Amino acid sequence: MKPSNNNIQPKEILKYINTDDLHQFIINYGAKHPEFMEKFMAHFSPKQVSAGKKDYAGSILNAFGSNTLSSGNRYRDYGDYGFDALSVAEDLKLLLDKAAYFIKHKNYEEAILICTAMIETIPGEWEPDFDYDGDVQVMYDEAIDTLQEMLEQKLLSPAQKEALFNWYSKEHKNEKHRYVGLNTDLKALEEFFADTPEMLDQNIKNIDERILSATDDYDRQRAAMDKIRLLQNAEFGKEAETVISQYLVFSDVRKLRVEKLLHEKQYEQAIDLIKDGIKIAVSNDHPGTASDWKDKLLDIYLLQKNTTKIISTAEDLFINGRDSRKYYPVLKKHITPAEWPVALQHLLTNMKDSGWGGVNDFKAEILIEHKMWEALFTLCKKANVESLEKYEKYLKPYYAKEIFDAYFNYAEKQALITDKQAYSNVGRVLKKMKGYEGGKEVVSKLLLKYRELYKRRKNMMGELKGV
């Protein structure tokens, strides 16, 4: 006997119905029944307001709860359960797509609810140990970015913007946001809240609280810079300059004043400010910051065509800075040919010999430029055989026997090592040795020796076949 349709509840049908079939039914039925479609649109229109943020927060929590990882996976050291970051991010992306849909139809209120719900909820569920590639962090960032775009494009009404600011004023203080963002920070919204005197005052108070509560100079500097930008954007230039003067101890703030002085061509004042910045950086053991200031000094001296200062500053940066290569042309240009030999020796003496995996390549380039072959050979021999190989074409005409002997000793030592890379090294160096006078005979003897001694090393025998 067939069951009656009267016994089937709509909930049961909806539970098992194919979603595509349901969509098609609504479209077809709505085309024939305008009254139904009118009610459908009135209820589901993107301009409608939802029950509230709570529903979206529940969806976010569900994204984490329904995409769990048990302890039997690569995260087993972090507890019994975690979350599958990629799957969580995919679910959260659907919510962000929905926010974009609401923005498209100018329902900014609903988009704000989605974004603020994500920003509030994600930090409580997120754990870095389970979000190895930052998939969930990107969703958090995109929620902030969406709010930022609405503010930048001035899409919000004054009431909406004020409500968002009131939310931000409380939310940004919560420590849970501190390390969640991957490429952005909730405080990125701060600069947009300066429309009214009340809003600006409250924003300034918020920043002042951050400055006072900062646990280190990095956070204090960031807060000070935010305060300056906020005042500048609100066209409170005089007040911004006062804040700059107050926080000149911070390098980023000092740079703002230096740039202003340079724009006004007040070079001597800028130089004094930079020199004080160097002293502060040195006392705080920040050599990188000190180098940056010296680099700025060099730019000014170049503008002033102050040769003496150019040479002394460029020389200091060449020896103590992060990129000697950058300052070498400056020194060559401004040091006279008569003074260059002595200056060059001073530079070479103070350059490091070693670089990544061998010699300092830039030092080697300078020696080659000046045909200082003995110094180049000493440099390479001191480093390793690979360095001799690298600069062999320059050194071979003068130090063939020494290089050959170095290759021979290297091959003998590498042959003792049971390692694929060592076998490769032996094969490579033996090939090079064949290019030297008497090298073929020596290599033939070594091959006979190795094939007898190490005949059970298949990988080594394979390398020797190519010699």
Tens of pLDDT, residue by residue over 338-359, are: 999 999 999 999 999 987 778 9
Question: How many Cα atoms occupy the beta-carbon half-sphere of 243 within 13 Å?
Answer: 25
Please state the domain extents for the chain. 45-182
Burial string for 54-73 (b: 16+ CB within 10 Å, else e) reads: eebbebbeebbeebebeeee
Task: Give residue 37's pLDDT.
Answer: 66
Task: Give residue 5's pLDDT.
Answer: 57
d(CA 331, CA 25): 79
pLDDT > 70 in the chain, percent: 92
d(CA 328, CA 38): 76
Q: Answer whether 75's CB lies under 8 Å from 84's CB.
A: no
Angle at 107 between CA 102 and CA 109, to 5 degrees: 110
Task: Give residue 370's pLDDT.
Answer: 97
Query: Token pair of 155, please?
Result: 């899409």
Check the CA dihedral 441-447-450-451 and report its sign: negative
Strand, helix or coil at 354? Answer: strand
Task: Give residue 347's pLDDT.
Answer: 96
Q: What is the DSSP letter of 288?
A: H
- DSSP code per residue over 101-144: HHHHTT-HHHHHHHHHHHHHHHHHH--TTT-TT-HHHHHHHHHH
- DSSP code per residue over 381-436: HHH-HHHHHHTHHHHHHHHHHHHHHHHHHHHHHHHTS-SHHHHHHHHHHHHHHTTS
Q: Answer whether 419's CB lies under 8 Å from 427's CB.
A: no
Task: Give residue 43's pLDDT.
Answer: 58
Angle at 26 between CA 25 and CA 32, to 5 degrees: 95
Task: Give residue 331's pLDDT.
Answer: 97
Ranges of the chain with pLDDT below 50: 1-3, 71-79
Question: How many Cα atoms occupy the beta-carbon half-sphere of 56 within 13 Å?
Answer: 26
Query: Token pair of 358, please?
Result: 């061998």
Number of Cβ within 10 Å of residue 441's Cβ equals 10
CA proximity to 127, closest of 183, 77, 184, 188: 77
CA proximity to 82, closest of 126, 34, 113, 16: 126
